[in-house]
Amino acid sequence: MKKMAILCGVLFCIAAGIGAYAAISRSVGTENAAAARVEQQAREAQYVRERDEKYRRLLEQGTRELYELKDARSARQTLEQALDTALDDTQRYQAWRWLAEAAEDTDPALRKKAGQQMAAIGKSGRERSEGLFVAAQAEEKLGAAREAVKGYRAAAAGYEKEGDFIEACRCLQYAADAALLPGLRDIRLCKNILAQEEKLLKRAEEGSKRDMLLYDLQLAKADIERREGHKEEAQRKFAEIEGNSEKR
């Protein structure tokens, strides 16, 4: 019995030792895992910082090449690198926006793509509308008048939802002009767009921007009279517009 008691005691001590060792091992393992996570997070944070700095540097360089050096080709290459470096949609939007500027006079296909991307990833209705407008301008340069009209009207609808009636009317004026381009020349469509703008302009805040839009709208309506063969009415409207302009 005495031997059995001694044996049980020994076994108990061994079991206790094993348990303590396991507990220590678990504690050490937990500490090691926590340290590894901290190290991983530090590496990720460093990567994000370096990439963000690179993006900002490239974006600044690209805009400087575009506006100060007047080198659109170099600006495009630099801004494309910035786009590849962007961390999120906010940065990607800005890169696409500047790429659209760089491509304005040289590459309508790239400008169209940039506008489409802006419309797709823009976070606000205003940003998406800006993208639609940019893409519509590119469609116009590519000779796709009907697609340009659709794009301008979509942009106008977006600005209207945002409560920016001035920008909405501006987009509609572009749409009305595009409706008269070769390949479309749809006077009825143009008149419908101008009527839409006229209604919307009444909701716009009074001021110089509204006055200018109203002046352009009146000119467009007089031009429609001329295009439809109503020469006397067109001349009367042009004279009236000119008289009102001189009074202002």
Q: Determine the pLDDT at residue 236.
A: 87
Taking alpha carbons only, the member of 178, 113, 110 closest to residue 140 is: 178
Furthest-apart CA atoms within the chain: distance in Å = 130
Question: Got the DSSP string for 68-112?
Answer: TS--HHHHHHHHHHHHHH--SHHHHHHHHHHHHHHTTTT-HHHHH
Q: What is the pLDDT of residues 78-121, one digit of tens each?
A: 999 999 999 999 999 999 999 999 999 999 999 999 999 999 99
Q: What is the pLDDT of residues 144-179, one digit of tens each?
A: 999 999 999 999 999 999 999 999 999 999 999 999
Taking alpha carbons only, the member of 186, 191, 128, 129 closest to residue 155 is: 129
Distance of CA 90 to the CA centre of its chain: 8
Q: What is the dihedral of CA 237, 238, 242, 247, to 10 degrees?
A: 0
Taking alpha carbons only, the member of 89, 176, 103 closest to residue 134 is: 103
Q: Determine the pLDDT at residue 10.
A: 45
Q: What is the pLDDT of residues 191-228, one digit of tens each?
A: 999 999 999 999 999 999 999 999 999 999 999 999 98
